[in-house]
Structure 1
Amino acid sequence: MKKFIALAVALLAAAAFAQEAQTNLPRVKLMAGMHVIDAQVAATDDQRMTGLMFRKEMPQHEGMLFVFEYPSQQCFWMKNTLLPLSVAFVADDGTIVNIDEMKPQTLDSHCSVKPVRYVLEMNQGWFSKKGIKAGAKLEGPPFK
């Protein structure tokens, strides 16, 4: 019985932890033209799976850069993500391949139109407000 209770407590603790926003990831400064982005870097499977889930707010100059081991078609959805987001799929050299708008808490799939290693999520409308479109280049350490 004690083992069962300990297991139940551990599972409840894991479930509670899983519903917390991750805010302490490493950060990198990116440039989109004259605009500076303070991006959290999600580079592990767990970090990428959690992404911006459960986050209730994000400053306008911040985002999350998802880094994958090798280029492939990347697809994202918004399960448990409370913020409306814009997503840019980015090639190895920093060129934005395509941008999409994502609605909160949906399972709609948003995919890169060709293989990429990087995906940048920002608050919804950030790219369009800054006049940044597919073909624009991001600059920063990951793209060197």
Structure 2
Amino acid sequence: MEWTISDRNLLRVNVQVQKYFFYAVAAIVVLACNFPNDSDNSASDQVVGRSVDNVDQVLIDISGALFEVEIAQSPQSRDIGLSGRPYMSDRNGMLFVFDNPGIHHFWMKGMEFPLDFLWIDSNCLVAEITENVSHIENSGTEDMRIYSPSSPIKYVLEINGGVSQTTDIQIGQRIRFLGNIDATFEC
């Protein structure tokens, strides 16, 4: 078979296309390997199905009363809290996690339903309970009432107003985090 100039040019173009196609496939493979995969998290980083640094929900047991709670661990999530939500289920709540025990202050700005505050010490014991904190009296920011524990606490659990009484939660009861999460929250 005799090659003409146009056949040789076509062969060169075909080889170049194959070469660029190979480079494109190789680049895609390299890029795909560099993106994180949800299934790549090691078992030591898992807490109830989520990475320790990004825990956003956990199941809490307080003497048989179970609550699925959101975690407010960053300053931003603690500032927002439950404000702006129209309601919350009686078996839900929000757990505020602080780096160090202290007298931490709360208010009801932007709340649309009453809450119970469970003030929890660094041993994961309910230190105090502030029941049925009203959302109505805190409509403006002037003279807004501030709620604080009388002793240092590490956690605050906000649940619907009256739920601590209906579930018989009492001072001195231990909070248990269900799943492999106790080490994360030092309980």
Greater per-residue helix proportion? 2
More divergent stretch after superposition (130-139 vs 44-53): 130-139
How does the TM-score come out when normalised to structure 2?
Answer: 0.61
User: Match for residue 75 of structure 1?
Assistant: 105
User: Match for residue 104 of structure 1?
Assistant: 135
Is 1:50 paired with 2:87? no
More divergent stretch after superposition (107-116 vs 58-67): 107-116
Q: Please point out which of 124, 137, 142 is paired with 1:94.
A: 124
User: Match for residue 6 of structure 1?
Assistant: none
Is 1:134 paired with 2:134? no
Structure 1 residue ranges (4+ consecutive) displaced by more than 6 angstroms after TM superposition: none
Distance between the aligned counterparts of 2:186 and 2:100, measured in 1? 13
Distance between the aligned counterparts of 2:123 and 2:62, measured in 1? 13
Runs of 5+ consecutive residues of structure 2 not aligned to the other structure? 1-54, 139-143
Runs of 5+ consecutive residues of structure 1 not aligned to the other structure? 1-24
1:143 offset after TM fit, Å?
Answer: 4.7
Q: How many residues align?
A: 120
How does the TM-score come out when normalised to structure 1?
Answer: 0.79
Q: Please point out which of 45, 64, 72 is paired with 2:94.
A: 64
Per-residue CA shift, 1:41-94, capped at 9, x if unaligned? 000001000000001011110000000110100121101111100001101121
Greater per-residue strand proportion? 1
Alignment of 1:23-42 (within 5 A): 26-42=56-72
User: Match for residue 44 of structure 2?
Assistant: none
Q: Once superposed, what is the RMSD of the aligned Cα atoms?
A: 1.3
Identity of aligned residues (%): 26
Q: Is the contact made by 1:97 and 1:113 (CA closer than 8 Å) also made in structure 2?
A: no
